[in-house]
A and B are shown apart, each in its own frame.
Chain A
Amino acid sequence: MTEDVFKALADPTRRRILDELVERDGQTLFELCARLVTEHGIGLSRQAISQHLAVLEAAGLVLPRREGRYKFHDVNTEPLEHIVNRWLRPDASEDTP
């Protein structure tokens, strides 16, 4: 899981997705795409953004939430705490290589 977090954070578009979700949680794919293109000039296709979201979901940084016919995306910062603990609070460190 930690490897996935580093991989997810290594991409600037995925960091922007997290930035936007922190600003407003619970966004649809449509809203995320609109924000990325207007705020950051990231004009990727919806399919490409969807794939970036899948990487963030695999790392546990984004949690997809189905509500009836809708699908929203919530940010989840918990995986980041493991990274912080590893170096800033080593006593509480996760046992990761």
Chain B
Amino acid sequence: MRIHLSSVFVDDQEKAVRFYTDVLGFVRKHDVPMGEDRWLTVVSPEDPEGTELLLEPSGHPAVQPYQTALVEDGIPATSFAVDDVRAEFHRLRALGVRFTQEPLEMGPVTTAVLDDTCGNLIQLVHSE
């Protein structure tokens, strides 16, 4: 068994896909109209057949309290692996991305936490 799909709730799919592709650097994989919304997934260009990330509309009433509470406490529910957290931090900050946690060494890993502008905090991580 492998992880095929994970999802983040986004308040605006078009804005989200721009952030996840133009800023973070993922690649659009599926973009299928589903009534008002789209089945919209992105993948890593380094692993196009790998786990897909679904940009899931956040309209369900449970989503906003969940996101609000996590963001207030700085909790990232999703984590992306990068080669160098500090390099990504500088690259993304130059693009205007807001970080709630600057790069921090925690034993064998370095992490940082950014705001994806669609409702979520995302952790970046690399291992030494």
Which A residues are closer than 8 A to B by beta carbons? 24, 27-31, 34-35, 38, 46, 50, 69-72
Residues of chain A lying within 8 A (CB to CB) of residue B111: 34
CA distance A27 to B102 in the complex (A): 9
> In this assembly, does B8 line the interface, its C-beta being within 8 Å of a C-beta of chain A?
no
| B-chain residues with CB within 8 Å of residue A24 when the two chains form the complex | 102, 104
> Which B residues between 102 and 118 are near A, CB-CB below 8 angstroms?
102, 104, 106-107, 111, 113
7 smallest CB-CB distances across A and B, nearest first, come from: A28-B74, A30-B74, A38-B106, A29-B73, A69-B71, A31-B101, A30-B75
Q: Can you list 23 pairs linking A and B with CB atoms under 8 Å apart?
A: A24-B102, A24-B104, A28-B74, A28-B101, A28-B113, A29-B74, A30-B76, A30-B101, A30-B113, A31-B74, A31-B100, A31-B113, A34-B104, A34-B106, A34-B111, A38-B106, A38-B107, A46-B73, A50-B73, A69-B68, A70-B71, A71-B72, A72-B100
CB distance from B17 to the nearest CB of A (A): 21
Q: How far is the CB of A18 from chain B (nearest CB, A)?
A: 18
Interface string of B56-76 (1 = CB under 8 A from A): 000000000000100111111
In contact, A28 and B100 (Cβ under 8 angstroms):
yes
Chain A residues lying within 8 Å of B106, measured Cβ to Cβ, are: 34-35, 38
Q: For A27, what are the chain B residues with a Cβ–Cβ distance below 8 Å? A: 74, 101
A69: nearest chain-B partner, CB-CB? B71
